[in-house]
Amino acid sequence: MAVSPCIFISGITQGIGRACAERFRQGGWQVAGCARPSGRLDKLKQTWPEACLFATDLYDPAQVEALARQLADLELDALLNNAGVFLPGGISTEPPGQLERTLQLNLLAPYHLARAVLPRMKARRQGTIVNLGSTAGLVGYPNGGSYCISKFALQGLSRALREELKPAGIRVVSVSPGATLTESWAGTDLPPERFMRPEDVAEAVWLACTLPAGTVVEDIVLRPQLGDLG
């Protein structure tokens, strides 16, 4: 009996992460993931009792290290580094520590989780690592500050890892969405057509992970049809 492929998704309980989990479950994959401890995570555990879900605060390096050790024991076909944070502010005006906090979640956690899954992927000579970036990692903008820095750095991680893992048969994909209607936009007075849906981004991630093994989409840039906000 064939074993269903498995994907691990950080930030699995809401937004793009939840939409990706739903899409991969619909496609017959096993889904595992992590999120900060919350009632939302508890409810998801009840909804998907078969899923391997970890209560992890990725802001905490010690918890990232503990999760990495657990991931090293899982047979994963794909890793989606989805969890991230946007804290507005200019480089000259944002509060002390904002860069460090943003980099911990948007760069360092993906770095360590990717390292954790690589030994088993290399042994099997297959697997896909998807890093969820942003168009803010392609073009800087005012009030983007540490967020832009972190997403540009995540692009660098994806590109370096892609070159390193070519001979190992492992795909590395950077997905850079523009404005997506998640909870981070709660209360906006902008019309829905100015945004993409999380489900639209999930379709792109699904495509990247299910192409034939000999093909990789290195960079996916997604924007609302009407263009970027601002």
CB atoms within 10 A of CB 212: 6
Q: Is residue 1 part of a domain?
A: no
Domain extent, residue 113, equals 6-222
Q: Do 85 and 103 form a contact (C-beta atoms < 8 A)?
A: no
The reply to whether 141 belongs to the active site is no
Q: Do 201 and 177 form a contact (C-beta atoms < 8 A)?
A: yes
Apex 70 CA angle, 65 and 74, nearest 5: 140
Number of separate domains in the chain: 1
Proportion of the chain in helix, strand, coil states, percent, rounded to 5: 45, 15, 40
Q: Is residue 230 part of a domain?
A: no
Q: What is the pLDDT along the chain (230 residues), one digit of tens a residue?
A: 568 999 999 999 999 999 999 999 999 999 999 999 999 999 999 999 999 999 999 999 999 999 999 999 999 999 999 999 999 999 999 999 999 999 999 999 999 999 999 999 999 999 999 999 999 999 999 999 999 999 999 999 999 999 999 999 999 999 999 989 888 777 788 888 899 999 999 999 999 999 999 999 999 999 999 998 86
> Which domain CATH number covers 150?
3.40.50.720
Q: Is residue 182 part of a domain?
A: yes
Eight-state DSSP code of residue 196: B
Q: Which of 114, 115, 11, 7 is nearest to 57 (CA)?
A: 11
Give the 3-state secondary structure of residue 211: coil
Q: Is residue 148 part of a domain?
A: yes
CA of residue 196 relative to chain centroid, distance: 17
Q: Model pTM greater than 0.85?
A: yes
Eight-state DSSP code of residue 193: G
Q: Is residue 229 part of a domain?
A: no
Q: Is residue 59 part of a domain?
A: yes
Q: Do 196 and 177 form a contact (C-beta atoms < 8 A)?
A: yes
Q: Is residue 105 part of a domain?
A: yes
Q: Is residue 197 part of a domain?
A: yes
Q: Which amino acid is at 69?
A: R
Catalytic residue among 59, 111, 141, 147: 147
